[in-house]
Every structure is written in C-alpha cells, then in structure tokens.
Amino acid sequence: MGSGEYRASRGDANARAVAIRFLREHTGQALLLMYLAIAVIARLYDVWFYRRFRVNIFYYSAPQDFFLAPMRNPGTMLSIFVPAVVLIGISWLAGRRKSVRQHTKLNTPQVRLIAGTMLVLLSAAVLTKAFADRRADRVRAGAGRRVSFTRNDGISYSEQPLLLGSTGQFFFLYYAKRRVAEIVPVENTALMTVDLHPKNDPGTAIPTVGGAGSTPRLSP
C-alpha cells in the first residue's frame, strides 16, 4: 500500500455499507443523531418564518421547544427525506458500476458518507427556507388559521387575528389589516378557538372580551 492510499476495512466498500454498519452497531446513537438533525432543520424553519414578522423566536423559546420543533413542524421532515432519497438513489446507481474506486485518505466511504450527510442537510435547509418564505407570504396576505382570542387581562381587538404558532410559553398572532404581529404569554390567555369557517373578508371583526371580572377595552 502506497503512502497516499488508504485501505478501507472489510465490509466498508461504500458509504451505504458504512451507514448500515453504524446503524446496526450504534442504533441508539444513530437514531439520536437523526432526530437532532431533524430538530435543527425544523428549528431553522421557525427562525426563517418568524423573522418575516420581525420576531426573534429564540427570545421566546425554552430548551424543550428545540426538541419539540419537529412535532410542531412535521412538514419539514420532507425537506430532509426528499434529498436523502435522491442521494441514496444516486449512491445505489453508482454502486452498480463495475469499476473499483481507489481509496485515499480523502476518498473513503466514511468521508463520502459525511459529505453526503452534509449535502442532505444543506439541501434540506434551502428547501426549508423556501417553505417558510412561502408560508409567510400567504400569512401576510391574510391566509391562515384565524382564531377567536380571549385574554384574561381585559385587552381586546376588533380584528380577528391569525395564529402564527406557539412555544411553550407564548402565542404568536398576526393582524393582517394592521400588519402587526403580537406576542401573548400563555398565562394571559383565557380562551382560544380556531375558526374553521371561510370568511369573505380576511379582517372580519369578532369581538372578544376579557376574563371574568375584567373590563374590556379597545387598544389602539
């Protein structure tokens, strides 16, 4: 073996073999790494989406919100699944070639696996940003989940807001007519109902009242 060559271990003929062996020998670690990768991509979706409304989601998040991000944004898993399937298909087609690759220190199955993983994550990040921007554009145009929102601090508005999302401690609302986002602590929420009826006017007014014993008032 020359000084510039690296001999792969038996059973690691390609990146797929390395991945399969790692999954078999370190199943728990592999599943944890995959979930962390999905959580990072899902969190990037939150960052890019809320940034369109000038909200820094990190200011209003707790550590558990990071781990729950894939459950709040299950659609982001497609942005990882699609590039991964494409890369696996390319790897499978390349593996059917009869030619034998010469392994060097920078061209080993392990290095190709790491490079492929980084390529999948980069592709997933690009797709996720596109999805976040598309949804933000729709919300800013007045499309989304409208809610009837009742606060226990007596504050009410004449416009029915759109629900952007939530964390463990805050709700994020958007008022399309006024083009403002509002961040409401969960403890200030008495009742929230999702309106499933289509509205002819995106800004249909639904009055809300404060909690028991409070005096409703109109905020400017």
3-state helix, strand, coil in the chain (%, to 5): 50, 15, 35
Whose structure tokens read 């976040």?
132
As a whole number of angstroms, the distance between CA 38 and CA 200 comes to: 38
Q: Note the pLDDT of residue 50.
A: 93
From 112, 140, 168, give the residue that closes a domain.
140
Give the Å distances, CA to CA, from 198 to 3, 49, 186, 201, 204: 71, 24, 27, 9, 10
SS3 210: coil
Q: Are residues 121 and 154 in the same domain?
A: no
Nearest to residue 100, comparing CAs of 5, 4, 23, 3? 5
Beta strands in 70-145 (DSSP E): none
Whose structure tokens read 């707790």?
62
Q: Are residues 116 and 164 in the same domain?
A: no
Q: Are residues 136 and 38 in the same domain?
A: yes
As a whole number of angstroms, the distance between CA 14 and CA 16 comes to: 5
* In-domain check, residue 129: yes
Identify the domain containing residue 198 by its residue range.
146-218
Q: Note the pLDDT of residue 35.
A: 87
User: What are the tokens at 11?
Assistant: 């059973």
Q: Are residues 131 and 46 in the same domain?
A: yes
As a whole number of angstroms, the distance between CA 62 and CA 219 comes to: 29
The pair phi, psi for residue 162, each rounded to 5°, is -100, 140
From 92, 124, 140, give the residue that closes a domain.
140
Q: Are residues 129 and 193 in the same domain?
A: no
As a whole number of angstroms, the distance between CA 40 and CA 60 comes to: 17
> Residue type for 25, please?
E
User: What are the tokens at 174?
Assistant: 């958007």
pLDDT truncated to tens, each residue of the chain (220 aa)?
A: 444 443 444 444 566 677 777 777 777 887 888 888 888 888 999 999 999 999 999 888 888 888 888 888 887 788 888 877 777 777 666 666 655 555 566 667 677 777 778 888 888 889 899 999 999 999 998 888 888 877 777 777 778 888 898 888 898 999 988 888 888 888 888 777 877 665 544 444 444 434 433 333 333 3
Q: Are residues 82 and 154 in the same domain?
A: no
Q: Note the pLDDT of residue 172.
A: 92
